[in-house]
Structure 1
Amino acid sequence: MPKQKQTLIIPRLGTVRLSRRDIFHFPAGLIGFEQLKDYILVGSPDMEPLRWLIAVEDPTVGLPVLLPWYVLPHYELPAAYTDVTTYVPLVVVTLAAEATQITVNLKAPIVLNIRSRQGQQLILPGDRYSATHPLMLSADVASL
């Protein structure tokens, strides 16, 4: 992790200056990227509500993410992760050429602990949520 500000060049997104407090450490990595442990969350007003979770060790690895409530207003996490002053859940978006083919993974949310700067990916039990839920922003969000 950088001790002072460092510059990270992110393909397709540009240059970002970051410091240690910008980084979320994932002790177990993410599914499919277990070797990458440190990530930053990058976004801009023209991309809202989408953000990118970018691997600091390999900035070519970036996952498009958004808050699950943009898709499903009543999305629920396990009780241990419901304190919104501590945890920020994100769901991974699978992009596609056709908008009707874009999906979100509600089954395996990424949870950021904004106090400890730690992150982890959960796999929720049961079949309540899908790993390939069609992306249609909820009417509640669209009206904001």
Structure 2
Amino acid sequence: MKINTKYLGEVQINKEQIISFPKGLLGFEDHKEFVVLSMEGNTHFKFLQDIHHDYISFLIINPWDFFEDYDIELPDNQLNSMGIFPEKNTNISIYNIVTIGKSLQESTCNLLAPIVINLENKKGRQFILDNSPYTTKHRLLPKGEE
């Protein structure tokens, strides 16, 4: 199927790529179906694109590409409700949303609300971490780094 995207124009996807977010994303609770799209020539950034609304797209990263000490604990009962069982080594991906600043050095990442995707059943959920040292605006690159 073809979808229109905010940044990549028209893109061909297959139904197996569609990720269902039963609760939507924070602030976008009515938007339930997304796809993760790669950026040509860039392995660090991807787009989380709403398949029904081309204007809804989030820039996302694997947090450990930028924050190697990122450490999170997610409630087992909520992971289990997504079909994720740590003892079964469920195949998952974790992403965080990036907010682009005037420059890459001013861009920030929301480490407080990771997006977890069960790659086996294509279910996703955005979590808000409890008692966390993280915020919604961590600098993507430390000052002075390019």
> Normalized against structure 2, the TM-score is what?
0.82
After TM superposition, the structure 1 = structure 2 runs for residues 5-84 of structure 1, keeping only pairs within 5 Å, are 6-78=1-73, 80=76
Residue type of the partner of 1:100? Answer: Q
Give the total of aligned pairs: 133
Q: 1:119 aligns with which of 119, 124, 142?
A: 124
Q: Deviations over 1:57-79 (max 9, x none)?
A: 21210000000101211212325
Deviation at 1:19, TM superposition (A): 2.0
Sequence identity percentage? 26
Report the counterpart of residue 92 of structure 1 in structure 2.
97
- SS of aligned partner of 1:16: strand
Q: Which ranges of 4 or more aligned residues in structure 1 deviate by more than 6 Å?
A: none
Residue type of the partner of 1:48? Answer: T
Q: Deviations over 1:12-51 (max 9, x none)?
A: 3122112220100000000011000000000134232100
CA distance, structure 2, for counterparts of residue 46 and residue 89 of structure 1: 21
CA distance, structure 2, for counterparts of residue 34 and residue 94 of structure 1: 19
> Normalized against structure 1, the TM-score is what?
0.83
After TM superposition, the structure 1 = structure 2 runs for residues 92-111 of structure 1, keeping only pairs within 5 Å, are 92-111=97-116
- SS of aligned partner of 2:29: coil
Structure 1: gaps of 5 or more residues? 1-5, 138-144
Structure 2: gaps of 5 or more residues? 80-84
